[in-house]
Each structure stands twice: as structure tokens, then as C-alpha cells.
Amino acid sequence: MDQPLMPGDLIEIDRVSYKHWAVCIGNGEVAHLVALTEVGVTNPMTDTEGEVRREHLKDVCGKSFWRVNNDQGLQIKPRTAAQIVQDALSWVGETVTYNLATYNCEHFATKMRYGRAVSQQKVTLQVVDGVKKVGLLAGLVGSVAALGSAASAPSRP
């Protein structure tokens, strides 16, 4: 996508089932947090090792659609572009704990821009996790109810 990029911009990259986030550091380059091992499908809330990388945006995006997204719904004034870039660059090469719920690529990007780690994906994951738990509970209640009615139902000769 050909959008003007300014140092300090947050970049949202569409992936198949999630959004990846990066911070523009200038000259077509970004800093972004990546998980070094596959994030568990069965338990996506598990900690894994992550690393902050400096790469060209085109290499990070590949054929994925991307856009500048500096609107996080936060009522927080962004830090200066110089502060954002300096902090992002200071993290390049660092290994950090990556967790979809507590510290993912969006947490990293918003921390650089606003000085506060926030992730809307985290909210989505918590809702999905909550729905799974409600579904599990409903299934369990249904199973117990079925067992109870089967136990109290008269038997046929």
C-alpha cells in the first residue's frame, strides 16, 4: 500500500487470523515484536520467547495489506517522533517474553508511541476465552442435567 509514512506511525498489518503491529522508524523501516516460537493454538495465552526486530516494511508485510493506524481509541497524546524512534531502536535485538494476552506486537507498538502498552487484540482474546469458558460451562451443565434426567427417568421393560 502506498500511504505516506512518518516516523513514529503505528502500522497495522492484516494477517489471515490476526493483525500484526509495527512502528515506523523512518526510511521504510519498522521495529516490531515477533514470537520466536509458534504461539500455541490450544493455549494461546502461554508465554513464549519474542524478539524486537528492525526490518523493511515491505519484507514484514509481504503481500499482506497494511495501513497507518495511529487511532487506538486512547485518549493519550503520542510521544514525539524522536522519542518513539529512539525507544523502538533501543529495543532492537532484545529478547522479551511474548504472550498474546499480556505482551504482544500491539502492546510493543503502543508502548513505543504512547508510553503505555495497550492491545485491542488482548480484549478480543479475553472475550473469546470467556466465550469458550461459558460454552464449556453450558456443555457441562447440559451433560449433568442429561445425566440427572436419565437417572430419574423410568426404565422400560
95 within some domain = yes
More confident residue, 145 or 77: 77
135 within some domain = no
146 within some domain = no
What is the C-alpha to C-alpha distance for residues 47 and 100, in angstroms, rounded to an integer?
8
Cell of 21: 503491529
Average pLDDT over residues 37-62: 84
Amino acid at 148: G
Catalytic residue among 20, 24, 61, 107: 20
Model pLDDT, residue 28:
94
Domain that holds residue 20: 10-118
Q: Is the pLDDT of residue 38 over 50?
A: yes
Model pLDDT, residue 141:
38
3-state secondary structure of 4: coil
104 within some domain = yes
| Domain count for the chain | 1
**What CATH code is carried by the domain that includes residue 83?**
3.90.1720.10
Catalytic residue among 24, 56, 61, 105: 105
Beta-strand ranges (E) seen in 15-74 are 19-26, 29-35, 48-56, 66-68
**Residue 56 falls in the annotated catalytic set:** no
Catalytic residue among 24, 32, 61, 107: 32
The confidence band for 40, taking pLDDT boundaries of 50, 70 and 90, is: low
132 within some domain = no
Q: How many CB atoms lie within 10 A of CB 133?
A: 10
109 within some domain = yes
**Residue 107 falls in the annotated catalytic set:** no
Quick: pLDDT tens for 107-148: 999 999 999 998 876 545 444 454 444 443 334 334 333 334
